[in-house]
Amino acid sequence: MADTIKIDVEFTGGLELLFSNQRNHKVSLPAQDQDGKAANIAFLIKHLCENLMTDQKRELFLLDESVRPGILVLINDADWELEGEDQYELQPRDQIVFVSTLHGG
Amino acid sequence: MADTIKIDVEFTGGLELLFSNQRNHKVSLPAQDQDGKAANIAFLIKHLCENLMTDQKRELFLLDESVRPGILVLINDADWELEGEDQYELQPRDQIVFVSTLHGG
Amino acid sequence: QAPQRFGLSNADFKRYGRQLIMPQVGLHGQLRLKAARVLIVGAGGLGCPAAAYLAGAGVGTLGLVDGDTVEESNLHRQIAHSTDRIGMFKVDSALTNLRGLNPNLNYIPHRAHLTPTTALDIFSNYDLVLDCTDHPTSRYLISDACVLSGKPLVSASALRTEGQLIVLNNPPRAPGASEGGPCYRCVFPRPPPAESVVSCGEGGILGPVVGVMGLLQALETLKLITASPDAAAPPPSLLLFSAYSTPQFRNVKLRSRRADCASCSANHTVTESSLTSGSMDYIAFCGVTSPIDI
Amino acid sequence: QAPQRFGLSNADFKRYGRQLIMPQVGLHGQLRLKAARVLIVGAGGLGCPAAAYLAGAGVGTLGLVDGDTVEESNLHRQIAHSTDRIGMFKVDSALTNLRGLNPNLNYIPHRAHLTPTTALDIFSNYDLVLDCTDHPTSRYLISDACVLSGKPLVSASALRTEGQLIVLNNPPRAPGASEGGPCYRCVFPRPPPAESVVSCGEGGILGPVVGVMGLLQALETLKLITASPDAAAPPPSLLLFSAYSTPQFRNVKLRSRRADCASCSANHTVTESSLTSGSMDYIAFCGVTSPIDI
Ligand SMILES: [Zn+2]
Ligand SMILES: [Zn+2]
């Protein structure tokens, strides 16, 4: 039986509307992808799209296999660009937040 | 050599003025008091008064061996009354915050 | 009278449309706001912004309590007042501003400081109270009166570069009912020594700091009013704000009601008659040496 | 002219006394505020409260940019306007309010939307810019113009029950200088798909939510202006606010300047002439199908 890794995922800035209108999710995902590589953020994004997303409009979350422009990914309260972007390898209990930028005023 | 325990202490709401006008302090204190009892908040308060306080006006922090009325003690972001008050036994890396209540408006 | 749809006029739909369309408010929430009677005690640094946003949101009846008059030193942070209203009662100055923003509400001025003998009488006409005052004496009095009259209390304070916010007596239950939210005395059973109390006049205050706290009071008030009546109250908590710290905001879990609370426990010693008879002396309780306005 | 002590009049000492006495401001800070020229782009839900508290604090020159007029649906959150000023330019309506609060400042109205051809010219008269607008097109334009003219940018946004705040281009350094703070394009190199952009008109907005964000912009502006000129800039961060979440506030570390940024890198393609010539088409860049006001 494959190992799983448990992390906390949060959607905010309106993205929660694509995920059952729920902000906080406890997510269990395989510790390795199909090629035996450790689960990273790219793998998580695919996993979320296939298993957690309830809205059909994937283009509001995904573009070219990664998150669309205007979404910030936060790894334990830091911009993912500080942590290796989608190649960051997930650790148990990581907090991953997907934030859609707001433009209103 | 006696064991020490390292915790984070923060003073806010004006209390920082009594402690070198500095909010955040890394504090190392003996893991046991002189009677061999595990270091608790009561012991920490005494330790802070004797070793960290720079202002002479102890009555702005202490009353009858505990913190004066109008100071909240927070143990890892919870009111100390939820954690056993001054009998709470300190754990390494605990975050202890002393907040003076504000009254202005 | 203008024609109504679902209890609101066309002008109401236009004015409140941007908040009405959100599921957190909706038509039900807007009607609850219209029916709500909110009392703001203190028309200063906290009360000015709180009142402006509650008036903007359409709280049907808004009462303001303050015995002070506008001074020039208020104007850097008390943005409902103005330079040409210096010397006017703060309550009248603020209502001039609020009526300009939203003339469709029922505004009630109380041009005197709150006292133990008047508090219960005034509170009986409102559903919810904001403590926007600036001294421990008034903070204990307002909390006691909220417990005795069964009103939730949204309390904030600010000094220098910091602020604090608590929602108290929520849900508002009779003294002795353990499922009620804690009161100010549950959190602070004993008043601070008088010499440790620093006012904004002595310590200073940054305008946006007290402004943010007043706006957060308005926000919690709107959340309480628009929530479904059977929504569970969130667990008691304290929000701490420190403008020059990182992070600036910290949320802290608080205790529930205190079994020996002088105000909200079964054995409470603070009673309606101790307030109205004047036997509760808040100035003596707080150890103030010279009499001060509360 | 009134007699001055240390560069301030007696009336200034009275009006600003409560902030002057704090070490974070002091006489030096108050004089820096008096000398400061701040531009607020957008006189709506963010700009109204930001302008009120900056005027209250004594920012010497305050410019406002907005081409819109006041509508009834603005008034639940745009508290510097009023019901009897519906139809007036927002800039004029807001200045009426600000002059009432503090008549001692130099106010400059810009009664038109910011455009690529006007932005650099306007920005050249100010020291610091607040982005209080409501669309990606204006957010990219304002950031580009701040980088090209070397001004720090305090940017906020809000929608429904949430808000976001970033201080950008701080310290403001020339394109290619890696010690400068990141710009909007460093954080968001590509604009969001047009169909993902929700306005406050479509999504709704709670008044105190956008109000808090505007006040936090005013606060960061005051901190920047009053700080000692050789104080180090704090590391880049983003503040997230969510009114119905616990905790409500979250502080997030951001990246520094992007080595290939189109605006602030050594190889930047956004230049003074691409703006003033009109060759930078922000509407096409953001993929808006029908022309809109920025
Ligand atoms: Zn109580
Ligand atoms: Zn850049």
A27-60: pLDDT as tens digits:
999 999 989 999 999 999 999 999 999 988 888 9
Give the pLDDT confidence score for residue C229 in this predicted structure.
87
Query: Does B105 fall in a domain?
Result: no
pTM over 0.80: yes
Give the pLDDT confidence score for residue C6 in this predicted structure.
84
Distance, in Å, from the CA atom of B82 to the CA atom of B89, rounded to the nearest integer, reads 13
C142-179: pLDDT as tens digits:
999 999 999 999 999 999 999 999 999 999 999 999 99
Give the pLDDT confidence score for residue D288 in this predicted structure.
60
Give the pLDDT confidence score for residue C278 in this predicted structure.
84
Give the pLDDT confidence score for residue C166 in this predicted structure.
98
pLDDT band (50, 70, 90) for residue A65: confident
Give the pLDDT confidence score for residue B2 in this predicted structure.
64
User: With b meaning 16 or more CB within 10 Å and e meaning fewer, what string describes D157-170?
Assistant: bbbbbbbbbbbbbb
DSSP state of B40: B
The closest of D66, D61, D70, D71 to D91, measured between CA atoms, is D66
| pLDDT of D287 strictly over 90 | no
- What's the token pair of residue D30? 């108050």
Centre of ligand 2 from the C-alpha of residue A35, in Å:
37
- What's the token pair of residue D138? 């204006």
Residues sharing a CB contact under 8 Å with residue D129, sequence separation 6 or more, in sequence order: D38, D39, D40, D41, D123, D142, D145, D146, D151, D152, D153, D154
Is B2 or A17 the better-scoring residue by pLDDT? A17
Ligand nearest to the CA of C186: 1
Length of chain C: 294
Query: Does A66 fall in a domain?
Result: yes
Residues sharing a CB contact under 8 Å with residue D97, sequence separation 6 or more, in sequence order: D52, D80, D81, D82
Which A residues in the span 31-60 are in contact with D, Cβ-Cβ below 8 Å? 59-60
Average pLDDT over residues D188-201: 91
C53-62: pLDDT as tens digits:
999 999 999 9
Give the pLDDT confidence score for residue C2 in this predicted structure.
66
* Nearest beta carbon to residue B102 from set C44, C162, C193: C162
**Chain D CB contacts of A59 below 8 Å:** 193, 195
Give the pLDDT confidence score for residue D2 in this predicted structure.
66
DSSP state string for B62-97: EETTEEPTTEEEEETTEEGGGTTGGGPBP-TT-EEE
Query: Does A62 fall in a domain?
Result: yes
DSSP alpha helices (H): ranges in chain D? Answer: 10-20, 26-35, 47-57, 90-101, 116-123, 136-149, 184-187, 200-203, 207-226, 272-276, 282-285
**Chain D CB contacts of C246 below 8 Å:** 234, 237, 251
DSSP state string for D40-104: EE--STTHHHHHHHHHHHT-SEEEEE---B--GGGTTT-TTS-GGGTTSBHHHHHHHHHHHH-TT
* Residue D192, helix vs strand vs coil: coil
Domain containing B50 equals: 4-100
* Helix (H), strand (E) at residue A47: helix A41-51
Alpha-carbon separation of residue A50 from A43, C135, D75 (angstroms): 11, 56, 43
Chain D contact for A104 (CB, 8 A cutoff): yes
Distance, in Å, from the CA atom of D104 to the CA atom of D240, rounded to the nearest integer, reads 35
Is C1 or C155 the better-scoring residue by pLDDT? C155
* Nearest beta carbon to residue D22 from set C14, C160, C219: C160
Average pLDDT over residues C206-220: 98
The total of other beta-carbon atoms located within 10 Å of residue A48's CB is 22
pLDDT band (50, 70, 90) for residue C291: very low
* Nearest beta carbon to residue D83 from set C20, C103, C219: C103
Centre of ligand 2 from the C-alpha of residue D187, in Å:
7
Give the pLDDT confidence score for residue A1 in this predicted structure.
43
| pLDDT of D293 strictly over 90 | no
ipTM rounded to 2 decimals: 0.96
| pLDDT of C292 strictly over 50 | no
Average pLDDT over residues D130-142: 97
pLDDT band (50, 70, 90) for residue C49: very high
| pLDDT of D289 strictly over 70 | no
pLDDT band (50, 70, 90) for residue D168: very high
Q: Which residue reads 């798909």 in tokens?
A: D193
Chains that touch C (3 or more CB pairs under 8 A): B, D
| pLDDT of C117 strictly over 50 | yes
User: Which stretches of chain B drop beneath a pLDDT of 50?
Assistant: 1
| pLDDT of D118 strictly over 70 | yes
Neighbours of ion ligand 1 (CB under 5 A): C 183, 185-186, 261, 263-264
Average pLDDT over residues C71-97: 98
* Residue D185, helix vs strand vs coil: helix
User: With b meaning 16 or more CB within 10 Å and e meaning fewer, what string describes C83-117?
Assistant: bebeeebbbbbbbebbebbbeebebbbbeebbbbe
Residue B78's domain is classified under what CATH number? 3.10.20.30
Subunit contact B14:C132, Cβ cutoff 8 A: no
* Helix (H), strand (E) at residue D166: strand D162-168
Give the pLDDT confidence score for residue C1 in this predicted structure.
58
Average pLDDT, chain C: 95
Query: Does B47 fall in a domain?
Result: yes
Length of chain D: 294
Strands D128-131 and D153-159: parallel
**Chain D CB contacts of A77 below 8 Å:** 250-253
Distance, in Å, from the CA atom of D64 to the CA atom of D131, rounded to the nearest integer, reads 11
Query: Does B44 fall in a domain?
Result: yes
Alpha carbons within 13 A on the beta-carbon side of C83 = 17
Average pLDDT over residues A12-34: 95
Give the pLDDT confidence score for residue D171 in this predicted structure.
97
Give the pLDDT confidence score for residue C294 in this predicted structure.
42
| pLDDT of C46 strictly over 60 | yes
Average pLDDT, chain D: 95
- Give the number of domains in chain A: 1
Chains that touch B (3 or more CB pairs under 8 A): C
Residues sharing a CB contact under 8 Å with residue A81, sequence separation 6 or more, in sequence order: D255
| pLDDT of D121 strictly over 60 | yes
Chain A contact for D46 (CB, 8 A cutoff): yes
Alpha-carbon separation of residue C189 from A7, B44, D66 (angstroms): 41, 23, 51
Give the pLDDT confidence score for residue C53 in this predicted structure.
98
**Chain C CB contacts of B12 below 8 Å:** 162, 240, 242, 245
DSSP state of D273: H
Average pLDDT over residues C45-66: 98
Chain C contact for B20 (CB, 8 A cutoff): no
| pLDDT of D292 strictly over 80 | no
